[in-house]
Amino acid sequence: ITAIGYCEKVITRSGARSGDFVVVSHLPGWSKSGLELLRSGAKPKDEYEKQAIAHHLTPTVPYQRYKESFGDLNCATDISDGLLIDVGHIALASEVNIDIETDLIRSEIENSQLAELKLPHKDLVEYVLTSGEEHVLLGTAADPASLPGFIVLGRVREGKGVTIDGTAAKLRNSGFQHRWN
């Protein structure tokens, strides 16, 4: 892709700093839930299932909200491959450790419509961690209070790699895996 124009601030994956908070524009997990519902072949039973399917088939991107957040983000990327994979891209580019906190994820799920989905199986925390094609903005910021509506899911620390609750994360098979042949 070639972009021509002017930008006030370049935001890359390499700008995360130790002490930053890991933030997302909204809770991931909807696209994978929608895909799971579509794969089951069942008709959607309620508005939450319809919403999940819509997130997967016809996502919307709140461009203006993202644009307004850019001044307060130190780095950013979209969640296209899955939260863990994409947070790994930031950790690698920024040469930092990123620790995702499952208690923060559980709390956000409990306070969201995602909790209303009646998926007969799965751990919604796993869906948040691995759902791709989300159209969710993932980034880091020194002050998450400056980003209204964004959700804090972890912290950036000195070190390398990705941890979940302080334990090394297994990134393999944790989202979409590109294969280059």
pLDDT in tens, 1-19: 787 888 888 899 999 999 9
- Look at residue 94 and tell me whether its pLDDT is greater than 90: yes
**How many angstroms separate the CA atoms of 92 and 30, rounded?**
26
Q: Tokens for 133?
A: 């094609």
- Classify 140 as helix, strand or coil: strand
Closest CA relative to residue 128, chosen from 145, 151, 149, 144: 151
- Look at residue 122 and tell me whether its pLDDT is greater than 80: no
Residue 45 makes CB contacts below 8 A (sequence gap 6+) with: 118
Q: What is the pTM of this model?
A: 0.88
- Look at residue 135 and tell me whether its pLDDT is greater than 60: yes
The answer to whether the beta carbons of residues 125 and 11 sit under 8 Å apart is no
CA angle 140/10/13 to nearest 5° reads 40
| Dihedral sign for Cα atoms in the order 137, 153, 108, 105 | positive
- Binned at pLDDT 50, 70 and 90, residue 171 comes out as low
Q: Which pLDDT value is given to residue 120?
A: 65
